[in-house]
């Protein structure tokens, strides 16, 4: 039986059906009661492409088997998947089995986005290596060396954009590429400062939105809840900066301009202002060209990711119009394809 991912199943056309297998992590189960007083489970499943909530009714042959599954276990679900007009993706004729170690390892290491995320991480490393401002490059390299593994399994968000294991790497890499392109056309921007700000702007999410080492569950942390990713990002940069001052790159730039403190303050400003508005969580508004650009780069990449997701999974109102998907504030129209793309 063909193997699908959660993302590919969510993208099924309306009212379509497919018999397929799904290799996922069993994240959890909640017992519910239908309007007809018939009990059912909401089973939360996850893979590298996203999360999914399935309803499993009490008359299903797999109802009791799901109840006895250990949370966090990796399973294969063979079923007839279909797009329900009211409830979205659903399944019938479930057959559930536990994955063996080889299949579990393959699921963790070779998800549908693994190749892209590996390429994106290499792109980030290459842009850091290209920095001419040695102090910023040193701090960025320390971050990748000390926290690269955690970075690779962090989501950029919990729900709305790049909300998947490794999603933060995808988000940061695209923003850095966009920032690099903009700096080529606007050489008045401090390129290395902007790219460093992009790398660190969501670095606090390594403790707020990090997935388990061996799974697709994003647990909540007390540290992340109490401080939030902006505050954590500031603490992280200050800690890395102190370590970096002990390295030769800093010793050789004692009298460099801007000064160490000025450079660090401007980098911190990019982190604390990147949400762009006080009501969106930034303690200060963007006050430098690099801070303004970073805010818009962040917003552009997040919005384009939301649009792509809405086009793939949103409810079609007509051949070219898709119903509004939160947090976007209107119905969407499918984009035109240019002549070169159409061949």
DSSP string, 251-292: HTTTT-SS-HHHHHHHHHHHHHHTT-SGGGT-SS---SHHHH
Q: 215 and 97: one domain?
A: no
Q: Tell which of 47, 76, 106 closes a domain.
A: 106
306: phi then psi, degrees, rounded to nearest 5? -65, -40
Q: Is residue 235 part of a domain?
A: yes
pLDDT, averaged in runs of 10, over the chain (343 residues)? 85 84 89 84 85 80 78 90 79 86 80 81 98 96 97 92 92 98 97 98 96 85 94 98 89 81 97 93 96 98 94 89 91 85 56
Amino acid 112: pLDDT:
58
Q: Is residue 245 part of a domain?
A: yes
Which residues fall within 8 angstroms of residue 121, CB to CB, at 6 or more apart? 148, 151, 152, 169, 173
Q: List the CATH number of the domain containing 256.
A: 1.10.3210
Q: List the CATH number of the domain containing 77.
A: 2.40.50.140
Q: 231 and 254: one domain?
A: yes
Structure tokens at 46: 């996850």
Amino acid 340: pLDDT:
63
**3-class state of residue 149 by DSSP:** helix
Q: 132 and 55: one domain?
A: no
276: phi then psi, degrees, rounded to nearest 5? 85, -25
Amino acid 176: pLDDT:
98
Amino acid 133: pLDDT:
95
Q: 92 and 125: one domain?
A: no
Mean of per-residue pLDDT scores for the chain: 90
Q: Is residue 161 part of a domain?
A: yes
Q: Tell which of 106, 123, 140 closes a domain.
A: 106
Amino acid 27: pLDDT:
87
> How many CB atoms are located within 10 Å of the residue 83 CB?
20
How many domains does the structure of the chain reveal? 2
Mind listing the pLDDT tens digit for each residue in 186-197? 999 999 999 999
Domain that holds residue 144: 114-305
Q: Tell which of 40, 73, 106 closes a domain.
A: 106
Q: 155 and 301: one domain?
A: yes
Q: 209 and 285: one domain?
A: yes
Asked whether 196 and 136 are in contact (CB, 8 A), the reply is yes
Q: 147 and 269: one domain?
A: yes
Amino acid 124: pLDDT:
98
């Amino acid at each position: 039986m063909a193997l699908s991912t959660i993302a590919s199943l969510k993208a099924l056309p309306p009212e379509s059906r497919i018999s397929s297998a799904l290799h996922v992590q069993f994240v959890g189960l909640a017992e519910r009661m239908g309007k007809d007083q018939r009990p059912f489970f909401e089973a939360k499943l996850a893979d590298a492409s996203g999360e999914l909530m399935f309803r499993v009714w009490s008359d299903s042959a797999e109802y009791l088997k799901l109840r006895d599954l250990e949370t966090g276990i990796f399973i294969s679900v063979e079923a007839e998947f279909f797009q329900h007009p009211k409830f979205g993706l659903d399944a019938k004729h479930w057959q559930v089995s536990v994955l063996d170690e080889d299949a579990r390892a393959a699921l963790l290491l070779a998800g549908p986005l693994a190749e892209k995320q590996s390429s994106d991480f290499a792109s980030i490393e290459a842009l850091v290596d290209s920095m001419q401002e040695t102090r910023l490059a040193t701090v960025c390299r320390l971050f990748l060396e000390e926290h690269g593994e955690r970075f690779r399994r962090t989501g950029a968000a919990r729900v709305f954009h790049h909300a998947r294991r490794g999603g933060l790497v995808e988000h940061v890499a695209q923003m850095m590429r966009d920032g690099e392109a903009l700096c080529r056309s606007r050489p008045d921007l401090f390129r290395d400062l902007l790219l460093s700000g992009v790398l660190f702007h969501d670095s606090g999410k390594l403790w707020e939105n990090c997935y388990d080492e061996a799974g697709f569950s994003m647990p909540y942390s007390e540290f992340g809840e109490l401080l939030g990713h902006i505050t954590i990002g500031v603490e992280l940069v200050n800690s890395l900066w102190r370590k970096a001052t002990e390295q030769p790159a800093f010793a050789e730039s004692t009298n460099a301009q801007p000064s160490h403190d000025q450079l660090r303050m401007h980098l911190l400003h990019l982190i604390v202002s990147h949400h762009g508005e006080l009501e969106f969580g930034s303690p200060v508004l963007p006050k430098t060209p690099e801070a303004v650009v970073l805010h818009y780069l962040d917003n552009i990449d997040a919005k384009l990711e939301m649009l792509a997701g809405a086009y793939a999974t949103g409810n079609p109102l007509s051949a070219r119009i898709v119903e509004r998907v939160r947090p976007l504030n209107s119905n969407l129209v499918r984009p035109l394809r240019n002549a070169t793309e159409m061949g």
